[in-house]
Amino acid sequence: MRSTDDRSTVARIRDAAITEFAANGVDGTSIRTIATAAGVSPGLVIHHFGSKDELRVACDEYVAGIIRDVKGGAMASGGAFDVTAAFRTVGEIPAAKYLARTLVDGSPHVAELVDEIVTDAMKYVATGVETGMIKPTEHEWERAAILTIWGLGSLVLHEHLERLIGVDITSDFSADPKATSAYMAPILEIYSNGFLTETTVQILRAAFVDAATEAEKEST
Amino acid sequence: MRSTDDRSTVARIRDAAITEFAANGVDGTSIRTIATAAGVSPGLVIHHFGSKDELRVACDEYVAGIIRDVKGGAMASGGAFDVTAAFRTVGEIPAAKYLARTLVDGSPHVAELVDEIVTDAMKYVATGVETGMIKPTEHEWERAAILTIWGLGSLVLHEHLERLIGVDITSDFSADPKATSAYMAPILEIYSNGFLTETTVQILRAAFVDAATEAEKEST
DNA sequence: TCATCTGTTGAACGCATGTTCAATATTCTA
DNA sequence: TAGAATATTGAACATGCGTTCAACAGATGA
């Protein structure tokens, strides 16, 4: 069903599309560009995927699959509270950069994937609370959601982060110890001790949460 | 120099462009759409701004100006560690949505603005450390950068955040106490106490930072 | 061997886009 | 008020896009 080559033609087109979409966005990538990158004709892209939109959906699903695999493998390694860590440990297709692009332009598949990630994070955190590795909270779901959004948001803004602290979190920087400490050390600091003193929190809580405390009976 | 209407034509075009760019992205917005929204002809848009790209730059600069103003005003109010809070307190919602869109597609003006925000955050944090409101750290710049990225990343992913916890942080949710507690309470919790226990941090620090500790002499 | 089907091509079509331009309306200046 | 400068229009143009389609190549199966 395929030639003696590396990947099948369909796979080559899909991979080229993922790379181009990740680099220049969906709107910024033409079918002709993808076809050239895959070494085929524009017509063949349509023939195999039906339309640019369906190609994009295929990419979404494929990348989502990769991420699910990677995430499953990383769950046990202890890095599950930082989604981006999972990508760095594996040398996958530019799935991380693709996700960083598509997280913003609202595909339903990506939304589904984000929901899954948060759900998994919740489970992971719940286990961590039981084993005494993670502090309990009244807002489990919201905390998991916010931590996930922070991780994914950092992924989306990886270019800014790289410019700011010299670490590209879409690549595997475990080889560079200076980068590891620049990125991981402050995060671990905040994740364990925070950065606001008790006085400050009381002031801020009074300002923001105070009127809401009695309405806090039902969460989601 | 202008009609008896509200704003000048140039301002009306610029504002329409900001709104449309924010809603559908730069690539997803045609000059004709902007012209229609502003109630003018396509040719006039080009006549006033030269090209779509120059119009986009004008929007970048204008929004950056708004944000600088808003930020200056919010510095004193205590919400400076959360950039998005500044937008909500002022009524500059389209600016927030515009920033959320353009943070991803790498305009130099936005990069400049992000750098400014981090620099300001650093100053603010340094002051907070002196007055005992913020805990000191060895990685001041990196911590300020990461906190800023978390805030901006949440802004960029506001649609996901809204789907996840029901709070739209690009709108003023101060009227809704439940939303305030869903969003602010977990953040304040993490910002003050973190969520990892000391045991966990030691394990993670050993795994990620250990080999880097001696190379940690110079930061930025 | 012949017919059939799938993989593949590349020219062509229709459309939306950014931009140009000559023409017209309006405002400003003196 | 006359003339110049500016604001504004809308048709037209060139380009690049997603997609279609007739044609061909190569494999498959009877």
Q: Where do the DSSP E strands lie in B127-204?
A: none
Cβ contacts of B24 on chain A, cutoff 8 Å:
none
Chain A contacts in chain B segment 47-106 (CB below 8 A): 78, 81, 101, 103-106
What are the angstrom distances between the C-alpha of A127 and each of A69, A219, B101?
20, 20, 36
| Position A101 pLDDT exceeds 70 | yes
Q: Quick: pLDDT tens for B3-26.
A: 334 688 999 999 999 999 999 999
Instruction: Kindly state whether residue A198 falls inside one of the protein's structural domains.
Output: no
CB atoms within 10 A of CB B30: 13
The answer to whether the beta carbons of residues B83 and B64 sit under 8 Å apart is no
B42 and B24 within one domain: yes
What total of structural domains would you count in chain A?
A: 1
d(CA B20, CA A44): 34
Which amino acid, B168? D
CATH of the domain at A50: 1.10.357.10
CA B77 to chain centre: 17
Which amino acid, A5? D
Residue A142 to residue B115, Cβ atoms within 8 A: no
Mutate to test the interface with A, among B196, B203, B213, B216 (most CBs of A within 10 A): B196
Give the torsion sign (CA, B22, B24, B25, B27).
negative
Instruction: Kindly state whether residue B108 falls inside one of the protein's structural domains.
Output: yes
Partners of residue B134 on adjacent β-strands: A196
The answer to whether the beta carbons of residues B63 and B98 sit under 8 Å apart is yes
Domain range spanning residue B13? 1-50
B33 and B20 within one domain: yes
Q: How far does the CA of residue B44 sit from the closest CA of chain A (Å)?
A: 26
B153 and B135 within one domain: yes
B135 and B31 within one domain: no
Residue A188 to residue B211, Cβ atoms within 8 A: no
User: Two tokens at A82?
Assistant: 């930082």
B113 and B128 within one domain: yes
User: Distance (Å) from CA B11 to C1' C22?
Assistant: 27
Determine the average pLDDT of the residues in B59-78.
76
B107 and B1 within one domain: no
Instruction: Kindly state whether residue A188 falls inside one of the protein's structural domains.
Output: no
Q: Quick: pLDDT tens for B107-132.
A: 778 899 899 989 988 988 888 899 99
What pLDDT band is residue A70 in, cutting at 50, 70 and 90? confident
Instruction: Kindly state whether residue A204 falls inside one of the protein's structural domains.
Output: no
State the pLDDT at residue B96: 87
Instruction: Kindly state whether residue B189 falls inside one of the protein's structural domains.
Output: yes
| Position A186 pLDDT exceeds 90 | yes
B69 and B9 within one domain: no
The answer to whether the beta carbons of residues A161 and B145 sit under 8 Å apart is yes
Q: How far does the CA of residue A165 sit from the closest CA of chain B (Å)?
A: 6
Q: How far does the CA of residue A51 sit from the closest CA of chain B (Å)?
A: 18
Q: How many CB pairs under 8 A join A and B?
A: 267
The answer to whether the beta carbons of residues B165 and A141 sit under 8 Å apart is yes
Indicate the SS3 state at residue B102: helix
B145 and B74 within one domain: yes
Q: B11-27 b/e with 16+ CB inside 10 Å = b?
A: ebbbbbbbbbbbeebbe
d(CA B99, CA B67): 9
State the pLDDT at residue A179: 83
Which amino acid, A60? D
Instruction: Kindly state whether residue B219 falls inside one of the protein's structural domains.
Output: no
B64 and B26 within one domain: no
